[in-house]
Copies of this chain bind each other. A is one copy, B any other.
């Protein structure tokens, strides 16, 4: 599956989303205009608005509010990327220089704040359910912050456990997927049974998506950022955790010490990456990934058959097989 096929399937709904998304970002301030235009011209996968609109379609009803949820999800996602780039001092993303590297961290923090508040305003303009929807999205922003904070804290000590890892990826990725799916179902007038099923689908899909990201960070430079970025930042992710699992406690401690020393010893990055390779870390992580994808698809059980449902199934598979 190509993601562009989903856009074709979504047809008119996709153009409505795009119009609203672009409109939300208009500003008269020259520097903000420049920043927003740059970001809009380097759009990412747009996976979140696709997910959002597919869920509403699968519930049988794309409303004006559904379009707003799709736009808010992409606005919020980009806001967090702008702040992440500052946090991680990233020079490139999606294969092009980040706003931070081009215009400085000031512009990146401020533009992130702007996009965040535009997400709030986009939801605020919903005629129905705006309070409920805002509550979902604001809960997710709290989760994102807590997830990043937890990851930061753990990275400083190199003591991330498997349980910490699952907490972190839920908070920093799956929480938004969960909110998108619940919100999109709500705007389509789904029953609470269906909304609940889709909320769970969102969680499983989000976990899968992040695990795949973490695998790709070991496997290739296709994400437009250099391999081993996470490791370089002291982040211990699933491939390393899986490689560690089979080791004696003494070996585990020595590898964790190597990660801990990365800020002083850059050469440790390659050593730890080799350790992950020798111990099949990414293959083992891929087994967990498959389990999440499988569970995501099972969550779709209660939905009536439809083309949109088929696309959601394919989207779950995409999270497993994507190479970028």
Chain A contacts with B in 93-148, Cβ cutoff 8 A: 105-107, 109-111, 113-114, 116-118, 120-121, 124, 130-131, 134-135, 138, 141-142, 144-146, 148
In contact, B145 and A107 (Cβ under 8 angstroms): no
The answer to the question of A40 belonging to the interface, with a C-beta cut-off of 8 Å to chain B, is no
Identify whether the interface residues of A are mostly helix, strand, loop, or mixed: helix
Stretch from A25-33, A240-248, A265-273, A315-323 at the B interface: A25-33
Please tell me which one of the listed residues B27, B29, B31, B121 contacts residue A135 in the complex, with CB atoms under 8 A apart.
B121
The answer to the question of A83 belonging to the interface, with a C-beta cut-off of 8 Å to chain B, is yes
Considering the chains assembled together, what is the distance between the CA atoms of A144 and B113 in angstroms? 9
Residues of B contacting A55 in the complex (Cβ-Cβ under 8 angstroms): none
Residues of B contacting A83 in the complex (Cβ-Cβ under 8 angstroms): 109-110, 113
In contact, A107 and B29 (Cβ under 8 angstroms): no
The answer to the question of A149 belonging to the interface, with a C-beta cut-off of 8 Å to chain B, is yes
The answer to the question of A37 belonging to the interface, with a C-beta cut-off of 8 Å to chain B, is no
Please tell me which one of the listed residues B32, B111, B121, B138 contacts residue A121 in the complex, with CB atoms under 8 A apart.
B138
> Measuring CB to CB, which residues of chain A are less than 8 angstroms from any residue of chain B?
27-32, 83, 86-87, 105-107, 109-111, 113-114, 116-118, 120-121, 124, 130-131, 134-135, 138, 141-142, 144-146, 148-150, 152-153
